[in-house]
Structure 1
């Protein structure tokens, strides 16, 4: 998630020397860059440049991939209503996994007309349990609630995002059986702590909440994303691929932050951006250059060069 912008991946420089980021992508296990059947790419800090633009080179690479018969999925922590940044570039592709796996969305309708195809929600009971357990484990944590169309937050939750909340109330009230937005599924809970180290907060939260929810992060600050049990970018991508008869070995994935780790581990080919978090670099089978250097396009171009 990026403060003062979309609630999704953020660029973070890895704790590795710049010289270790190769000018061209090289699979860490020595495998060649074979063309996949499906490309799954994160957005913020990965496909998008830091100014939130999609470069002409990246637009051309995505179009070329689809012309070669490769399906393209955008896989992001963003809610569907924040997908306008790529809607005008979808061309034939345009399937998106939003909310870290909580929803599958068809973007072809254009801005404001996105269609939900699948929702994997966070049950209110699980959400209440997670909030209570994390309050005890990390006093001072404040919360926001992300739904398919609504956004609600506690009064003390800072102005991290670009929209005005629909409701201001304590999380326990928001998540009550008769709380705000009971007509909509909950996609995820956002948990922010003003003082804790981001990675330490993530580890603490996972221990406290256990199997009641999936917890990850994509912000450079201590902002966590809490989803339903077993909901992740990887698990929802696996469901979508199974529906299409696509094996994991036929998927190439790109990412930069901890919420991408499961997806990069699952995919047959995976690439950490030059600006990726150390955990992402460890999880991916390959590396590419930074998002501001069009690292996704660089890999796609190399893959397509192998297509006869």
Structure 2
């Protein structure tokens, strides 16, 4: 979705080295050097190790970046209430982009006291329309509703998340004008299929729904994440950068899954992790080590070494 100096996924694929180790010569040949002003990183499968910890090396790299005047934004599909894992590593502005771009959250308040700075909500009407079309294309789909402060699911929806739902009911009841999901913003709908292959489910849903909503995925299972049209990690990150006078060329982004593709394409420099999905690899300008080998820290250390 880059507006200026766009680089297509096809072009970027040709720039991606076969090895997952950090690329240097290919990247430097691709574009002139631009100082980094903001680092945007996904969490699961990217900044976090598989045990959901932040390694000491990564903690030190994040702190060093902030000390050098480079802003760090965590940009994740997680809801705000799951951000405790990195809350203590937020410096300066304290902001994170959650729900695949559906919300900008101030994490300074601590667990349970997060303040929503910006919300890009999905209307119940569009949510219901998307659910109907996806179920027509993939019978057996079951859904859950993610809100700013609530989580509800259908009775058949499996236990995939960290907490019990606030309510159990069919999506049509949850999203009805008098349903429990009405009254606070809907950040995204989760749609799960018990038997379909994840990428096939994503493709089928996108074909069925078209541009009515944004559909992506970040789970290894057939779990889709549905947001309002035009909402993505990239579009919300672009808004935050515009408020700070930061251009996309001054952003370095990291990610590993299809929900990172738009952000990896938009950023001036971007890195797919060594463990990344092929779509993320194709979208990025470079590749770094896997999340369990501190791939984000490897690049940040190099960025700091490039500074005068």
Give your verdict on TM over 0.5: yes
Separation (CA, whole Å) in 2 of partners of 1:98 and 1:57:
24
Separation (CA, whole Å) in 2 of partners of 1:276 and 1:19:
13
8 Å CA contact 1:40, 1:73 repeated in 2: yes
CA positional deviation for 1:109: 1.8
Matched, 1:265 2:269: no
Q: What SS does the aligned partner of 1:207 have? A: helix
Separation (CA, whole Å) in 1 of partners of 2:88 and 2:66:
16
Separation (CA, whole Å) in 2 of partners of 1:164 and 1:45:
24
Question: Cα gap change, 1:304/1:118 in structure 2, threshold over 3 Å: closer, same or farther?
Answer: same
CA positional deviation for 1:119: 0.1
8 Å CA contact 2:34, 2:249 repeated in 1: no
8 Å CA contact 1:105, 1:114 repeated in 2: yes
* 1:1-308 to 2 correspondences below 5 Å: 20-22=19-21, 24-26=22-24, 28-29=26-27, 30=29, 31=31, 35-92=35-92, 94-308=94-308
Question: Cα gap change, 1:184/1:102 in structure 2, threshold over 3 Å: closer, same or farther?
Answer: same
Separation (CA, whole Å) in 2 of partners of 1:301 and 1:79:
29
CA positional deviation for 1:210: 1.0
Question: Cα gap change, 1:299/1:32 in structure 2, threshold over 3 Å: closer, same or farther?
Answer: farther
CA positional deviation for 1:88: 1.4
8 Å CA contact 1:153, 1:170 repeated in 2: yes
Question: Cα gap change, 1:93/1:61 in structure 2, threshold over 3 Å: closer, same or farther?
Answer: farther
Separation (CA, whole Å) in 2 of partners of 1:114 and 1:124:
24
Q: Deviations over 1:160-192 (max 9, x none)?
A: 111000010011111111111322110000000
8 Å CA contact 1:27, 1:33 repeated in 2: no
Separation (CA, whole Å) in 2 of partners of 1:181 and 1:257:
28
Separation (CA, whole Å) in 1 of partners of 2:304 and 2:261:
25
Q: Deviations over 1:22-80 (max 9, x none)?
A: 2x343744347754110000000000000000111111101110111101100000000
Separation (CA, whole Å) in 2 of partners of 1:32 and 1:276:
26
Q: Deviations over 1:217-266 (max 9, x none)?
A: 00111000000000000000011111111100010000000000000000
Q: Which residue of structure 2 lines up, in the alignment, with residue 9 of structure 1? A: none
Q: Which runs of 5+ in 1 are unaligned?
A: 1-17
Q: What SS does the aligned partner of 1:152 have? A: strand
8 Å CA contact 1:33, 1:302 repeated in 2: no
8 Å CA contact 1:77, 1:100 repeated in 2: yes
CA positional deviation for 1:200: 0.6
May I ask how many residue pairs the two structures share in their alignment? 290
Separation (CA, whole Å) in 2 of partners of 1:27 and 1:120:
39
CA positional deviation for 1:91: 3.1
Separation (CA, whole Å) in 2 of partners of 1:159 and 1:266:
34
8 Å CA contact 2:45, 2:256 repeated in 1: yes
Question: Cα gap change, 1:32/1:45 in structure 2, threshold over 3 Å: closer, same or farther?
Answer: farther
Question: Cα gap change, 1:176/1:131 in structure 2, threshold over 3 Å: closer, same or farther?
Answer: same
8 Å CA contact 1:72, 1:94 repeated in 2: no
Question: Cα gap change, 1:56/1:170 in structure 2, threshold over 3 Å: closer, same or farther?
Answer: same
Q: TM-score, normalised by structure 1?
A: 0.91
8 Å CA contact 2:145, 2:181 repeated in 1: no
After TM superposition, what 4+ stretches of structure 1 lie above 6 angstroms from structure 2? Answer: none
Q: TM-score, normalised by structure 2?
A: 0.91
